[in-house]
Structure 1
Amino acid sequence: MKQEELQSIVEEVSLTYFVRPFCHEARFNHRLRTTGGRYLLHTHDIEINPKQYEAFGKDELISIIKHELCHYHLHLQKKGYQHKDKDFKDLLKQVGGARYCKPLVDKKASSKKQYIIQCTSCLLKYTRKRKFDLTRYACGKCGGKLRMLKMNIDH
């Protein structure tokens, strides 16, 4: 989907569900990671995460657009536009927008390494995400030498 298509969808959703025009810019932002979209207070523009559209399709995209348009229209009307405000919650329920976007599966998070290190003296086990030089460190409990027990790679 191109920026022009996104702009026309946002304008159409705004007129259909809010009966108000969207007079600013809607664009994809490839740097968004944890959110489906965001409304920019100073410019009144809306940015959408393209990964949400690629992963879940047009229905989820429209749901995110409704959410961001709730922020947009309430802010311009000088009403409560934040997630905690009653005006926002009521309008979001009225138009059927998503309160939260669906989570994206992160490829890096799904393949975590885990190092299990054990003290040779007191047998205390440590789990670590990063590998480190065992000869430079000692057990925090007894001061004994450390050794690598095993390395788990979860997929």
Structure 2
Amino acid sequence: MNDAELQAWIERISQESFGIPFRHRARFNPRLRSTGGRYFLKSHDIEINPHQLEANGLDEVEKIIKHELCHYHLHLQKRGYQHRDPEFKALLAKVGGSRFCSHLPTTVKPKRRVEPYRYELRCERCGTSYKRKRRMDPRKYACGKCRGRLELFLLKTT
């Protein structure tokens, strides 16, 4: 499913479940990790986590969409759109949206890229070593143990 299909799906759900059209932008955001979707107060756009679609299917994502549409419609009507508001809770129950997002299984989450250490700062006085992933100016820092001068070395990368 692409962004255009998601846009049409959200517009259809909005019309069928709320009786009000969705007039803003909807898109997938694969960078979302801890949430199924989000609603933006300033732009009124909605983003959906595509990993939820892969892990939990269309039914669960439809509940997430209804949840975000509750925020959307209540906010535009200047009513209680926050999770704690009784109006939000009542509308969410009425349309059958999910209160909480199903957690993603660990197999679906992409692996984090581990950067190797590329630099080493070494104290000239006591020999303490500090490994770093990014280059830094040793003149701006001192050893944390003895306050001695630091020397920068480039580590061998394989």
- Per the TM superposition, whether the score is higher than 0.5 is yes
CA RMSD of aligned residues (A): 1.4
**Distance of 1:2 and 1:50 partners within structure 2:** 10
Amino acid at match of 2:35: T
Matches of residues 119-130 of structure 1 in structure 2 within 5 Å? none
**Distance of 2:103 and 2:91 partners within structure 1:** 23
Q: Which residue of 2 aligns with 1:30?
A: 30
* Aligned positions, number: 109
Measured after TM superposition, the shift of residue 105 of structure 1 is 2.0
CA deviation digits over 1:117-145, x for unaligned, max 9? xxxxxxxxxxxxxxxxxxxxxxxxxxxxx
The more displaced of 72-81 and 97-106 is: 97-106
**Distance of 1:73 and 1:12 partners within structure 2:** 14
**Distance of 2:16 and 2:43 partners within structure 1:** 23
108 and 92 in structure 1: CA distance in 2 versus 1, 3 angstrom threshold: closer
**Distance of 1:53 and 1:87 partners within structure 2:** 28
CA deviation digits over 1:51-87, x for unaligned, max 9? 0001111111110000000000000000000000000
**Distance of 1:10 and 1:107 partners within structure 2:** 27
**Distance of 1:76 and 1:69 partners within structure 2:** 10
Q: Which residue of 2 aligns with 1:45?
A: 45
**Distance of 2:108 and 2:12 partners within structure 1:** 36
CA deviation digits over 1:17-65, x for unaligned, max 9? 0000000000000110010000000000000000000111111111000
- Contact 2:55/2:108 (8 A) holds in 1: no
Measured after TM superposition, the shift of residue 101 of structure 1 is 1.1
Question: Which consecutive unaligned segments of at least 5 residues does structure 1 have?
Answer: 110-155
Secondary structure of the 1:57 match is: helix
**Distance of 2:101 and 2:30 partners within structure 1:** 16
Matches of residues 51-62 of structure 1 in structure 2 within 5 Å? 51-62=51-62
Q: Which residue of 2 aligns with 1:85?
A: 85
Amino acid at match of 1:74: L
**Distance of 1:27 and 1:13 partners within structure 2:** 15
Secondary structure of the 2:47 match is: strand
24 and 108 in structure 1: CA distance in 2 versus 1, 3 angstrom threshold: closer
**Distance of 1:5 and 1:93 partners within structure 2:** 26
26 and 108 in structure 1: CA distance in 2 versus 1, 3 angstrom threshold: closer
**Distance of 1:62 and 1:14 partners within structure 2:** 11
Q: Which residue of 2 aligns with 1:6?
A: 6
Secondary structure of the 2:10 match is: helix
